[in-house]
Structure 1
């Protein structure tokens, strides 16, 4: 069973060592970039996605400064662990974590993905995210989950 753990000085090297498949490199920023970005984001959480003691993925999420709602900025599963259903389970863990920390006025979780990333689109739809029609951010499709 998967669980989330905060990225700390003890596990950040594991986080930046995770890799997506070669054909997915253009779909998500590296975890090193995400950890650097974290220095400039308030109210954001960097989490390792763990299978037992092994970090198999990474997520970065928090309250966006523009709309003051929760956004998932990054979500990835290491190439060695893809295709095993961990992506859906990891997204549910993030949704559950946000639900446990959010305030009453937070009603949505938003994310974006490359339109060419059909796999991500299908997983997010299965998890309850609905595309915001006509809304692209940096050429990425925006999708939203409503509590």
Structure 2
């Protein structure tokens, strides 16, 4: 997967609706909020930064992170999803790398944290392949994994 074919762009008037139409696979429905809810959340929590993921100029996914340091003294990834028709192609990994590069530009960026349900094998594989480690932190039903920059 070439980084040249994947890009992330902040949610805007031209791409938000198409982003809301994206669908996750049936087995992922219990693990992630719909994109429309996440976009709405970002309007009420302005430190959240929502992005659309493009693959070859087509909207294929969504991601969101917080631009302020939170629990565990790090920046949190709130969402990442790839439409069910584009999963398994490495798009999510490249998009997450791009997001990590954006977060690394933020003040005092020393660690990035993401929480996910332990049974979400796709999330586990993605984050562990990018160097996130489990140090035993738990938030409700989710485990929190950390990547040091």
Aligned to 2:35: 31
Q: Structure 1: which 5+ residue stretches go unaligned?
A: none
Counterparts of 1:18 and 1:43, CA distance in 2: 24
Q: 1:78 aligns with which of 78, 83, 101?
A: 83
**How far apart are the structure 2 equivalents of 1:90 and 1:123?**
11
**Correspondence for 1:123:** 126
Q: Match of 2:51?
A: 47
Quote how far apart the aligned CAs of 1:102 are.
1.0
- Aligned partner of 1:142 in structure 2 is 144
TM-score (norm 1): 0.91
Q: 1:69 to 1:42 in 2, by over 3 A?
A: farther
8 Å CA contact 1:63–1:69 kept in 2: the answer is: no
Shift of 1:43: 2.2
Could you say which residue in structure 1 is the equivalent of 2:99? Answer: 94
In 2, Cα distance between equivalents of 1:66 and 1:119: 25
Shift of 1:123: 1.3
Root mean square deviation, CA, Å: 1.4
Runs of 4+ in 1 over 6 A off after TM superposition: none
Aligned residues: 144
